[in-house]
Every structure is written in structure tokens, then in C-alpha cells.
Structure 1
């Protein structure tokens, strides 16, 4: 039943892209078409094959800015496999492309509830949090990186991100502290250095 449902969904989405009615072939034209050219490209697709095809189609529609088709597919796919993290990643992208940053944040939040989440999912979620001025959520992610990482590179990234979040909140003293810590670990880090210059410039303007 599920397989039939998914096939119908994909078929309807593909059908919606057809703007003209196909012409009927005359008997002579039919006989001139080689049989091997009208055979289906694939037979006996499994349920997983159909699902992956539909997911790729949704991704392609987003890339080609066919947002209505993409959203229609993603809604159906979410009903079919609600635990697939890739659906929520694509939904986040879809909502961002539509300018709905609140829904992009909410969709991204679903990825963090999934066992297949990655540090990139956390990074994207934190970015949406910052864009929605939900600084506490972003800081929670960056602080978690500091607490669990043994990598100096990740530590520097986390410190820079915490500093940037503080900078957006106009907490210049706290931002400066994070950027200085990042520079101590990586003296050539341009992000930390440039942001410190920015803070210095802002503070100079405020005192004048």
C-alpha cells in the first residue's frame, strides 16, 4: 500500500510539470518506433528506490526553484518516512529559500532530535537561531562544542561563534573575551582578529 502511495505521489508531481497534451501517434508512426526505445528505463523498482527517486526529485526542484513541487513532495515523503533526517534538512533549505527563517529554524530543530545528526546539522541549526535572534539556542550549541571537543580547530570555531553571538547582542566585553581566547589558540586567526578590530572601532565611536 505504501509503495503504491509513493508511486502515485511521484507520478502526480511529474505529471504536474507537463504543460501540453501529448500527440497521438498514427499507426504508421507507431510501427516506425523501435521497440527497444519505448521500453521503460527501469523495471521492478523497490519501495526504497522509489523513495530515493522522490527525495532526489524534491532536492532538484528546490535547486531549480520549483518550490511548490518541492514542498508538495516533501510533505508526502514526511508522511511516508517521518524519521528521515534528510527531509528536515531539505525543508529547512526550502523555508530559507522562501524567506521563512522561523520555519527554517523549526525544521532544523527536528534534525537535532534525530540519531543521525551531525555537527553540520548543529551548525546550521545555530545559524538559524542567530538569524532568528535566538541567541541562547545558538550559544548552547557552541558551548557544547567547547565542552566535548578535543580538537583545537573546533575549539577556535566555537570561541569565534560565541564571540560573534555576543557581538550581535552588543555585549562587546564578552565578545572580546571569546575572540582573545580564539587568538591565543590560533594567533593567525583572521576572524577573531578582524572582529576585535571591529569591536575596537565601535567602542572608539561610542566614546567620541
Structure 2
């Protein structure tokens, strides 16, 4: 049964989307008229949103209103941003949002995991991934996805060695990049602790 608010909207020809962010709604409307949207929409009185995060919100909104083409475009824009901004804190924040329980973000999850695993060596070596590690440690779904992706790498891949976590009672196995310095930290997706490469390689499988 329609509510009084629904009846008023029908009579006035105006639909109010009170639960959705005005910035994201503006992007959806832009897409409806131009088949595209800007990642840097501004609305007076509203706080700006990082573009990579904005694309996640657009993707979710597109799914909510059954707009698969818009969802696909948002996923593409998200991937383009992630491939360039994987060292930024905004990538970790976007990963947290993408893996939030209940959100329809499967295509974006694949992007996050693929990029995080592809750059694991550089991120650990440069110590720029601390924020991402904290996010992954606090979101079990993300940690599990990273572990599954990393476990899928073949043991014969160049420079990688399958090792078991050095911490007692943790039986997690991960591929460690042997090109890293011996004291470089490598985060464990199982116990959420950090071992050095030297410690990992003491327990080769």
C-alpha cells in the first residue's frame, strides 16, 4: 500500500530520494541525460568526496535503481582510478567501502584484490601500505579475498616462495616475494600480524 508521501510524489510529479547522497544523485541524473558523469561533482553545502570513493557510491546507486550500464561505467572509472591511485590512502578507504557487508560491489572487489596483490611487493617495500593493511586487518571479507587471490599464484612464479606464518598457532600459508629486503615486513592475512621476509622464509613449504 502506497504511503502518503508516495501519493504526494505521484500527484506532484516530484520524486524525493532522501536516503541517497545528493552528489551521487547528481551523477546519476547527469548520466541519464548525457550518458556520462563527472567524478568531481560539487553541490553547495556538501563536502567533496574523493573520486575513487565517489565511483563506488555511483556503482551502488546504479544497482539500487537497476541501471546496469551506469554500474558498469562506474566500475570502469573505479578501476582506472585504482590503477593510478593504489598508493593513496583513498584506495584503502575505497577498499573498505567496497567490502562493506551487503553492498553489491562484486566487480569492484575483484579490482581491489587484483591491484593489491599485484602491488604487494612494492607496497611492503616502500612502507606506504600501512593504512591498507589496517583496513584489511579490520575487514575479514577483504583479508580472506586477498589470501585466496594470493594463494592462486603458482608456486613457480618468478621470485615467489610459498611460506608458512612464523607466529605460533597460525598456519596461514602465503607467497613471499624473495626480491624484498630480508627485514621488509610482510603482512599475514591469517593472524593479521607482520613477519619480516627473513622470518617467513624460515618456514618454507
TM-score by length of 2: 0.36
Structure in which a larger fraction of residues adopt strand: 2
The structure showing larger relative contact order (alpha-carbon pairs under 8 Å, at least 6 residues apart) is: 2
Structure in which a larger fraction of residues adopt helix: 1
TM-score by length of 1: 0.36
